[in-house]
Structure 1
Amino acid sequence: MNESASSRNWIAGRTPPIPGQDSVAEVRYLCIGGVNQWLMIRGCDRANPLLIMLHGGPGISETVFWRYYNSQELEKAFTVVYWDQRGSGKSYDPTLNKDTMTLEQFLSDLNEVVDYVCDRANKTKVTLFGHSWGSILGPLFAARYPQKVAAYIGSGQIGDWAASERATYEYTLSEAQRRSWKRIELDLKNVVGRPPHNSESLIKQRNHLAKLDGDTSFGHVLMICRIFLTAPEHSIFDLLQFYKILAYNIELMWTEVTSVNLLESVPELQVPTFFLLGRNDHCVLPEISMEYIQVLKAPSKEVVWFDHSRHQPFMDEPEKFNSTMVNFIRPKIE
């Protein structure tokens, strides 16, 4: 993997420096799997364990939220690697060869990222944090390359993805019926329909779920805009591209990724595992996560519940999330 050279003017932007001679704060585009991908590495001490953040989606870069809610604490205890995956966030490229948007290619990309950051930090292992779609990518990688992984941390943990989509749809429909939101109920029944979904019907279903959960309120939307406006590495332009990038990824990858069933493909991991679950997660219901966790064989399995969180504990309960990562998990990582 080399620093990318392209006819397109790829500008990685800047990230604020971190005081201290042993700190690292760098951002760049790298040629990963033959395409430009955005990578940022930040940490107060290069001797700290490497932590690679695997965002959700596919197609939802969460770097801006991790930087806003979690970076101040995480970057003291870890050297944090923020990676916008192929086709996501600042790595989005409409000219990308669509045939490369496959699960196998993403695993290959991740392997290149792991090798790159390990070489930069003079380390042999990384800790993987996988959220939602990232919670599929993480276990698949850890099962394939256990020698490169110190620990796996899952949040919004998916097991049987098809079962998860069915459960999410049924919850959304039943909640609309319970509240007598007839318009949403009829739309779910007559327009969206039951899974499997295409990109259009999936986004409609998720939008209905967001309305039921209160995630489309004026205050919530205003908060998201403020996060993007105040983020040193991001701008409102990144937010404006959100749905376009999500739809792009879902259209290309949804059929393949929703066929993944970790109960069958990754029944065992050879690394310590931790699961940070929102008690009120309606996107990946807790019972779906626990179905996988209970059958998974691993040297250790520890579950931390976030009673006031939905799908994103790192945003819903950031203080507890940060404390769990730094004070509970970090001491257990070699």
Structure 2
Amino acid sequence: MTHHHESGHRNFAGVTLLCRVTALTLLLLSTGCIHTVPFKDAAGRVIPGSIAAMETVSIGGVEQSIWFRGVSRHNPALILLHGGPGASESALFRHYNADLEQHFLVVYWEQRGAGRSYHADIPPESMTIDQFVQDLDEVVDLVRRRFGKDKVVLLGQSWGTVLGALYASRYPEKVAVYVGVAQMADTPQARRLSYAFALSEAQKRKNAKALSELQEIGPPPYASVDDVLTVGTWVERFGGMFHGNLSTSKLIWAALGTDEANLVDLVKFGQGNRFSLEQLEDEISQLNLSKRHRSFEVPVFFLLGRYDRHVPAVLAERYFKTIRAPCKRLVWFEHSAHNPPFEEPEAFNRVLIETVRPLTTGTGTCAE
């Protein structure tokens, strides 16, 4: 009996040790060195003129994370302005939209207070829309200087469309094309529509928990960031954030599956997202681009998900109709809600490659 007991004990200890080693290995893998792979030809040689670099640069007095990726430095520069605020999407664009790197020099920028650009000592008073636009100007000038570009393409996603639209209207001489994905327009009205959508769906579905939480919060203006997030959670659950089978958890796994992100990024994402939301809430809650920013001197694209209720696409469409620009185009993504780049990546990439890129060389048109 003793013999069997010892054997069982040894087996149990072995299994426990194996579990610990496995757990440690997984931890090391998920928190290991992040890197970005170079572009190589069929023979395994790095392609001349390509770039694949992850860097930290001081922008506006704050250390910020920027990656540069492209098969050719001569391709038009495309600067990604992620959503949130504070919601770095660099790894997601790497996972879903890497094809863009064959046609653009893609600049993945984690804004102040987001992702690896989040630091506990960032002055809260520096978290203003105006400061973000100044930061973007430094990024644009860095790209223009380093890669010899006159102009850049700006691609804003959700919150990033605020920076993109403001920058394109303020510095048209530096912008080749402005692309707004899930374009923000009128926040107070957007929040009223999102709340009404969530409440209506809760009633239709007889979801007592949603009804209780939404009725307790009441329609906007909201009392806190927590209220904003709670309503957003129900909008997502009821299909206003993702139209297909995509979800926040699937996006997290997609990001962690890239070479450029690990669990540290997940932690920093949470910290930066909360910090940014809290610091910028006062400005964002009152924001109305459609009132003052209707005239652009650069080509303007709006790429909208038909089912977007998070930043309601109907308001972006209304805003688009009032815009004056040398050329403008609205593209609907019929199988997307708030995230066309990740919900319909092939169609999204095609618009950028076949329609936006030619405009940077003077060979394209905005025509349908």
TM-score (ref. length: structure 2): 0.84
1:331 to 352, 358, 363: 358
For residues 221-268 of structure 1, the C-alpha deviation after alignment (integer angstroms, 9 at most, x for no partner) is: 553343133211100232244333222111110111232211222110
Aligned to 2:56: 29
Code of the residue aligned with 1:14 in structure 2: it is: H
Partners of 2:270 and 2:230 lie apart in 1 by 12
Partners of 1:214 and 1:190 lie apart in 2 by 21
Change (3 A) 1:222 1:194: closer
Code of the residue aligned with 2:125 in structure 1: it is: D
1:280 to 282, 307, 332: 307
For residues 259-291 of structure 1, the C-alpha deviation after alignment (integer angstroms, 9 at most, x for no partner) is: 221122211000001111100111111211111
Code of the residue aligned with 1:23 in structure 2: it is: S
Verify the 8 A CA contact 1:313 1:321 in the aligned structure 2: yes
Per the TM alignment, residue 43 of structure 1 is displaced from its structure 2 partner at its CA by 0.5
Q: How high is the sequence identity, in percent, across the aligned residues?
A: 38
1:123 to 146, 149, 173: 149
For residues 86-140 of structure 1, the C-alpha deviation after alignment (integer angstroms, 9 at most, x for no partner) is: 0001101111111100011001000000000111111111000011111111010
Verify the 8 A CA contact 2:241 2:339 in the aligned structure 1: no
Partners of 1:220 and 1:78 lie apart in 2 by 28
2:88 is the alignment partner of 1:61: yes
Partners of 1:204 and 1:299 lie apart in 2 by 40
2:39 is the alignment partner of 1:18: yes
Partners of 2:125 and 2:299 lie apart in 1 by 34
Per the TM alignment, residue 303 of structure 1 is displaced from its structure 2 partner at its CA by 1.1
Verify the 8 A CA contact 2:188 2:220 in the aligned structure 1: no
Aligned to 2:79: 52
Aligned to 2:112: 86
TM-score (ref. length: structure 1): 0.92
Partners of 2:315 and 2:202 lie apart in 1 by 21
For residues 153-188 of structure 1, the C-alpha deviation after alignment (integer angstroms, 9 at most, x for no partner) is: 011011112211111111111111111112101211
Verify the 8 A CA contact 1:309 1:317 in the aligned structure 2: yes
Higher Cα radius of gyration: 2
Verify the 8 A CA contact 1:169 1:195 in the aligned structure 2: no
Change (3 A) 1:12 1:54: farther
Aligned to 1:172: 198
Change (3 A) 1:115 1:307: same
2:229 is the alignment partner of 1:203: yes
Partners of 2:235 and 2:267 lie apart in 1 by 21
Partners of 2:248 and 2:196 lie apart in 1 by 26
Change (3 A) 1:221 1:149: closer
> Which range moved further: 186-195 or 109-118?
186-195
* Count of aligned pairs: 323
Aligned to 1:8: none
> Which range moved further: 32-41 or 209-218?
209-218
> Which range moved further: 98-107 or 158-167?
158-167
For residues 201-240 of structure 1, the C-alpha deviation after alignment (integer angstroms, 9 at most, x for no partner) is: 1111111222222979998455334313321110023224
Per the TM alignment, residue 321 of structure 1 is displaced from its structure 2 partner at its CA by 0.6
Code of the residue aligned with 1:307 in structure 2: it is: E
Code of the residue aligned with 2:313 in structure 1: it is: P
Code of the residue aligned with 1:147 in structure 2: it is: E
Partner-residue secondary structure (3-state), 2:238: helix
Aligned to 1:70: 97
2:334 is the alignment partner of 1:307: yes
Give unpaired runs (5+ residues) of structure 2. Answer: 1-31, 41-46, 362-368
Aligned to 1:5: none
Aligned to 1:234: 261
Partners of 2:246 and 2:181 lie apart in 1 by 25
Verify the 8 A CA contact 1:168 1:282 in the aligned structure 2: yes
Change (3 A) 1:309 1:13: same
